[in-house]
């Protein structure tokens, strides 16, 4: 989940910088490709975290042999799903300001 958070903070910093540049009358598309890539990659990173978390849960269940504690299994799966939620939320938080800034930059280019 840390890579999702780190990428989100970097992308948000780029968007804030772009907003200040627009307000000052400077137009530049630099950094927008990075933000777009982060928005696209974050849900996939979340799903990757979920898949690896579920794999670890099943591995732990397999190692336990015949004595399986369903509470421990559901806790592990629930924890794994948190990464998917984090990736989706982080992506959505960046998506709307990105589209707003991208539209303003596109209007200025026309």
- The DSSP symbol for 87 reads H
Helix boundaries (H) for the chain = 2-23, 32-63, 70-109
3-state SS class at 24: coil
Whole-model pTM: value is 0.79
Question: Do 47 and 64 touch, CB atoms closer than 8 A?
Answer: no
96-110: pLDDT as tens digits:
999 999 998 888 766
Per-residue pLDDT averaged across 21-45, rounded? 89
37-89: pLDDT as tens digits:
999 999 999 999 888 888 888 887 777 776 777 777 777 788 788 888 999 99
How far apart are alpha carbons 39 and 87 in whole angstroms? Answer: 9
Taking the CB of residue 59, how many other CB atoms lie within 10 A of it? 11
- CA atoms lying within 13 Å on the CB side of residue 81: 6
Range in 11-15, 32-36, 66-70, 78-82 with the lowest mean pLDDT: 66-70
Q: What is the pLDDT of residue 110?
A: 61
pLDDT range class, residue 11, cuts 50, 70, 90: very high
The residue segments making up the domain with residue 33 are 2-109
Count of domains in the chain?
1
């Amino acid at each position: 989940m840390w890579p999702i958070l780190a990428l989100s903070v970097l992308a948000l910093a780029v968007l804030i910088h772009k907003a200040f540049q627009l307000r000052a009358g400077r137009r530049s598309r630099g950094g927008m490709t990075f933000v777009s890539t982060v928005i696209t990659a974050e849900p996939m990173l979340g799903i990757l975290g979920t898949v690896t978390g579920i794999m670890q849960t099943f591995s732990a269940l397999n190692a336990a042999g015949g004595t399986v504690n369903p509470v421990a299994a559901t806790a592990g799966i629930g924890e794994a799903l948190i990464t998917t939620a984090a990736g989706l939320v982080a992506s959505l938080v960046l998506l709307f300001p990105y589209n707003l800034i991208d539209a303003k930059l596109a209007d200025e280019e026309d």
